[in-house]
Structure 1
């Protein structure tokens, strides 16, 4: 499966895209509000970090 890239209209394999995301990391965030009759009852904020373990470890030389 390939995903069209924005820069240069070239196709990028999904594996390559996943490798880039895991190497650098990405933060996904969102908010959910449950309301009845325009009264907010529950507000949930979600945030997650997606990365590889090796990207989080400090590099020792």
Structure 2
């Protein structure tokens, strides 16, 4: 029973829907980065670095 009380204390009082969360993230912008390495026998053959910026069109137009 004490575990349930501790778990409830960690959760936020309000719930945020997925649409609201996505709206908040796109308003500020998201930067995604990643690295892809293809190798055979521990020899790196191809290395690709990926970077992308995701932002809402309204935010992008406001900064130009």
Q: TM-score, normalised by structure 2?
A: 0.72
SS at match of 1:32: strand
Structure 2: distance between partners of 1:7 and 1:20: 19
Structure 2: distance between partners of 1:50 and 1:26: 5
Please state how far the C-alpha of 1:36 moved relative to its aligned partner. Answer: 0.2
Q: Comparing both structures, which one devotes a greater share of its residues to strand?
A: 1
Find the counterpart in structure 1 of residue 33 from structure 2: 29
RMSD between superposed Cα atoms in Å: 2.0
Q: Is 2:59 aligned against 1:52?
A: no
SS at match of 2:62: coil
Residue from 19, 22, 25 that aligns with 1:18: 22
Structure 2: runs of 5 or more not aligned: 1-9
Q: Comparing both structures, which one devotes a greater share of its residues to helix?
A: 2
